[in-house]
Amino acid sequence: MPNDISAAMPKILARGLMALREQTVMPRLVNGDFSADAASKGDTIDVILPSDLTADDVTPGTTPPTPTSSTLEKVQIELNNWKKADFYLTDKEMMEVDVRENFMPVQASAAIRALANAVNQSIHAEYKGVYGLVGTPGSTPFDANAEVATAARKLLMQQKAPKENRYGVLDFDAESNALDLAAFADADRAGSSTVKIEGEIGRKYGIDWYSDDHVATHVTGAAGTPLVKGGAQTGTSLIVDGFTTKPSVGDIFTIDGDPQQYVVLAAGDLDGTESVLTVSPAVLVAPSDNDPLTFAGSHVVNLVFNRDAFAFANRPLAHSTQDLGLGSQIMSMTDPETGISLRLEVARQYKQVVWEFDILWGVKLVRPELAVRLAG
DSSP assignment of 97-127 equals HHHSTT---HHHHHHHHHHHHHHHHHHHGGG
Residue 342 exposed, middle or buried by CB count within 10 Å (0-12, 13-18, 19+):
buried
Count of residues for the chain?
376
Q: Answer whether residue 199 shows pLDDT above 50.
A: no
Condensed to tens digits (0 to 9), the pLDDT of residues 84-100 reads 999 887 777 767 766 67
Residue range(s) of every CATH 3.30.2400 domain in the chain: 2-51+73-126+309-362
| The most confident of 31-40, 178-187, 266-275, by mean pLDDT | 266-275
DSSP class of residue 76 equals E
- Give the angle subtended at the CA of 84 by the CAs of 80 and 85, to the nearest 5°: 155
B/e letters for 261-290, b = 16+ CB within 10 Å, e = fewer, are bbbbbebeeeeebbbebebeeebeeebeee
Single-letter code of the amino acid located at 176 = S
Q: What does the alpha-carbon distance between residue 237 and residue 242 come to, in Å, rounded to a whole number? A: 17
DSSP class of residue 271 equals B
CATH of the domain spanning 2-51+73-126+309-362, picked from 3.30.70, 3.30.519, 3.30.2400, 1.10.10: 3.30.2400
CA 39, 41, 42, 47 torsion: positive or negative?
A: positive
**Comparing C-alpha atoms, which of 331, 354, 360 is closest to residue 344?**
331
Kind and range of the H or E run holding 311: strand 310-315
Mean pLDDT of 208-233: 96
Mean pLDDT of 144-159: 94
Q: What does the alpha-carbon distance between residue 339 and residue 28 come to, in Å, rounded to a whole number? A: 10
**Cβ(271)–Cβ(302) under 8 Å?**
no
Q: Cβ contacts of residue 347 below 8 Å, gap of 6+?
A: 326, 327, 328, 353, 354, 356
Q: What does the alpha-carbon distance between residue 243 and residue 270 come to, in Å, rounded to a whole number? A: 8
When the pLDDT of each residue in the chain is averaged and rounded to a whole number, the result is 87
Residue range(s) of every CATH 2.40.30.290 domain in the chain: 220-297
Question: What confidence score (pLDDT) does residue 259 get?
Answer: 95
Q: Answer whether residue 254 shows pLDDT above 90.
A: yes
Q: Answer whether residue 71 shows pLDDT above 70.
A: no
Angle, in degrees to the nearest 10, between helices 106-124 and 2-23: 40
In this predicted structure, which of 2-6, 45-49, 247-251, 307-311 has the lowest mean pLDDT?
Answer: 2-6
Top-confidence residue, 280 or 66: 280
Q: pLDDT tier at 116 (50, 70, 90 boundaries)? A: very high
**How much of the chain exceeds pLDDT 90, in percent?**
57
Q: Is 169 helix (H, G, I), strand (E, B) or coil?
A: strand
Start-to-end CA distance of the chain, whole Å, equals 53
Top-confidence residue, 288 or 103: 288
Q: Answer whether residue 50 shows pLDDT above 70.
A: no
Q: What does the alpha-carbon distance between residue 219 and residue 24 come to, in Å, rounded to a whole number? A: 25
CATH 1.10.1060.10 fits 220-297, yes or no: no
Q: pLDDT tier at 288 (50, 70, 90 boundaries)? A: very high
Q: pLDDT tier at 321 (50, 70, 90 boundaries)? A: low
**Comparing C-alpha atoms, which of 92, 83, 97 is closest to residue 14?**
97
Q: pLDDT tier at 188 (50, 70, 90 boundaries)? A: very low
